[in-house]
Amino acid sequence: MAGVQVSDVSRSFGAHKALDDVSIDFADGGFYALLGPSGSGKTTLLRQIAGFDFPDSGRITIGGESVERVPVEKRRIGMVFQNYALFPNMSVADNVAFGLSVRGETKAVIETEVQRALDLVQLGKLGGRRPHQLSGGQRQRVALARAIVTKPRVLLLDEPLGALDKALRVDMQIELKRIQREIGVTTIFVTHDQEEALTMSDRIGILRDGRLVQEGPPEEIYNRPKSEFAATFLGDANIFRGDTTGDGIRLADGTAIVAGVGATLAAGAKASCAVRPERIRIATDAGAPDGNPNTLKGQVSKRIFAGNNSTYFVERGGQTLKVIVQNTGMERLAEGQDVVLRWSPESTVLIAVN
């Protein structure tokens, strides 16, 4: 097991810069998510770490050892592919045994280790099956067992849960996390699913257009996004744009918004404020003021009921704001109703606009 350091890695394909000077530290034993939209470079970065592709410049080390020119088969990594990539001509047990067998382990060692790995992923009895006789979730587990049986220094997962349906995905998220804790392997997984990244990882790296936008623990990125992109890609956010006033921004119509967190900016510069939809309190006109300086008037244009919560779309000054309200059994607001939105400065993140 080992940490992974990526330093100033760039990779271009023709004129397209897939990775642009990316540096990121993956500490030993951590669970990392690389999150980004398609084309953001997250898979390219994973393939550099795996050794399927080599960077044009920059350094990659695994456990302190420089590997940027070492081919994948010599890196001692484990990888789970999006479509599992199980060998169709081999049984489940032979699939899992493959890594040990090419390494020349004895039959006895292989048998013990394969059984242990299959037990770990709770497929102890299915060793004799063929991949095509398994369900999607089972194949996923076989792929995982195959990747960890060789005791890799790093476990790489490329959208591992993308092909599963929602309920199974949630099960596998928990399962994956349990297994990772149990074996303690440094794990890096690529996903475009923000929920997956939030629930599973210790740290998240958000990528966009080949650049690392922000990196940190999920809560930190969620609560203190450093860019509009980070704010809207990880979770949902209402974005207000205006000029900085020192403790917030002033919108074009003169309304002041007070921000309690985020960047410190000199007055006068362009800036934005991000507010999470669930941080905004919505009330009808009649409600008493609650002391929050951030108050806006608007009109409900749409309501989407989602069981445990409702999302209100509120029109205000040509902007549609989202407000999420927990379903506490209170009377719902009608579409077309005038409302007042209030939220605290602590819920408002000031973001520099570049």
Partner 1 sequence: MATTRILEWLGRLYIWLLLAFLYLPIIIMALMSFNVSPFYQLPFEWTTEWYASLWQNNQLISATWNSVEIAVITTVICTVLGSAASLALFRYEFRGKKFLQALLFPPIAIPWLITGTAMLIFFFGVGIGRGLHAILLGHVALALPYVIVVVSARLQTFAPELEEAARSLGANQWQVTRRVTLPWIMPGVIAGGLFAFAVSFDQFVVSYFLATPGQTTLPVEIYAAIRKGFTPEINAVSTIIIVVSMALMLLTARFFKFGGEK
CB of residue 343 vs partner 1: minimum separation in angstroms?
47
CB of 103: closest distance to partner 1 in angstroms? 6
- Dihedral angle computed from the Cα positions of residues 149, 152, 156 and 162, in that order, rounded to the nearest 10 degrees: 10
- Nearer to partner 1 (CB atom), residue 103 or residue 178: 103
* b/e sequence 41-52, b meaning 16+ C-beta within 10 Å: bbbbbbbbbbbe
What is the nearest approach in angstroms of partner 1 to the Cβ of residue 70? 12
- From the list 36, 78, 205, 345, which residue makes contact with partner 1 (rule: CB under 8 A)? 78
Binding letters toward partner 1, positions 124-153, x by CB under 8 A: ----------------------xx--x---
Residue 183 engages partner 1 in binding (rule: CB under 8 A): no
Decide if 263 contacts 226 (C-beta within 8 A).
yes
> 238: which residues sit within 8 A by CB, 6+ positions away?
274, 275, 276, 277, 280, 321, 322
| 274: amino acid identity, one letter | A
CA distance 273 to 242: 8
Tell me if 180 contacts partner 1 by CB under 8 A.
Answer: no
> Least CB distance from residue 151 to partner 1, whole Å?
11
Which residue of 14, 15, 89, 254 would you call a contact of partner 1, by CB under 8 A? 89
Pick the closer one to partner 1 by CB: 52 or 54.
Answer: 52
> How far apart, in whole angstroms, are the C-alpha atoms of residue 22 and residue 68?
14
Tell which one of 6, 46, 79, 351 touches partner 1 (CB under 8 A): 79
CA 214 to chain centre: 11
Nearer to partner 1, 14 or 289 (CB): 14
What x/- string results for residues 97 through 126 when contact with partner 1 is judged by CB under 8 A?
-xx--xx-----------------------
Q: Which is nearer to partner 1, 146 or 342 (CB)?
A: 146
Helix (H) or strand (E) holding 211: strand 211-216
Binding-site size for partner 1 (CB under 8 A) equals 25
172 contact partners, CB below 8 Å, separation of at least 6:
137, 140, 160, 161, 164
Q: Which stretch binds partner 1 (CB under 8 A): 79-87, 120-128, 246-254, 345-353?
A: 79-87
Stretch that binds partner 1, among 32-40, 54-62, 72-80, 324-332 (CB under 8 A): 72-80
Strands of the sheet containing 57-62, edge to edge, are 16-26, 4-13, 57-62, 65-66
Q: Are 77 and 61 in contact (CB under 8 A)?
A: no
Among 16, 56, 65, 87, binds partner 1 (CB under 8 A): 87
Which of 353, 319, 100, 114 lies closest to 225 in space, CA to CA?
353
Let me know: does 198 contact 204? Beta carbons within 8 Å: yes
Interacting residues with partner 1 between 9 and 68 (CB under 8 A): 50, 52
User: In the complex, what is the shortest distance from the CB of residue 88 to partner 1, in angstroms, rounded to a whole number?
Assistant: 7
Strand 248-250: give its sheet, edge to edge. 256-258, 248-250, 238-244, 270-275, 348-352, 261-262
Residue closer to partner 1, measured from CB, 147 or 164: 147
Taking CB under 8 A as the binding criterion, the range among 76-84, 117-125, 160-168, 232-240 that sits at the site for partner 1 is 76-84
Judged by CB under 8 A, the chain residues 276 through 305 that form the site for partner 1 are none
For residue 190, the 8-state DSSP code is E
Q: Which residues form the interface with partner 1 (CB under 8 A)?
A: 50, 52, 71-74, 76-79, 81, 83, 85-89, 98-99, 102-103, 146-147, 150, 156
